[in-house]
Amino acid sequence: MGSLKTFATLMGTIDEIAQELKLEKLSDTDQKVYAAIVLLADASAKDTVDIGDLIQHSLTKSIPVPTLYRSLKALIEMKKIERVGSVKSGLYALKNL
């Protein structure tokens, strides 16, 4: 029961943090894509995230590529991220909040 309780506690904590950050309206997929961008940007010396790295990230690798692109579009429209460079550059960055 210990692992199940830990899992349930983590889910509750994630929900609380999502509400604090005003991310609760994002779909589960959008939350995973956004979280992957945050982690990749933090791990990189640059502030940009390459689409190839995003596709391969552990949080997003099970997301079909067309769905990932829909998520990116939604996050751009919500002003959570921005495209860097041309449409074909495949680079994204967190918006300054």
At 50, which CATH number? 1.10.10
Comparing 44 with 17, the larger pLDDT belongs to: 17
Q: Please compute, for residue 91, the number of CA atoms within 13 A of its CA located in the half-sphere on the CB side.
A: 9
CA distance 24 to 15: 7
Residue 81, strand partner residues:
94
11 within a domain of the structure (yes/no): no
**88 falls within a domain:** yes
Q: Report yes or no on 49 lying in a domain.
A: yes
Q: Specify whether the CB–CB gap between 55 and 61 falls below 8 A.
A: yes
- Residue 13 domain-assigned? no
In a domain, 6, yes or no: no
Q: What is the pLDDT of residue 9?
A: 95
Q: Which domain holds residue 87?
A: 27-94
Domain count, the chain: 1
Q: pLDDT digits over 77-91, tens only? A: 999 999 998 888 899
pTM of the model: 0.88
In a domain, 34, yes or no: yes
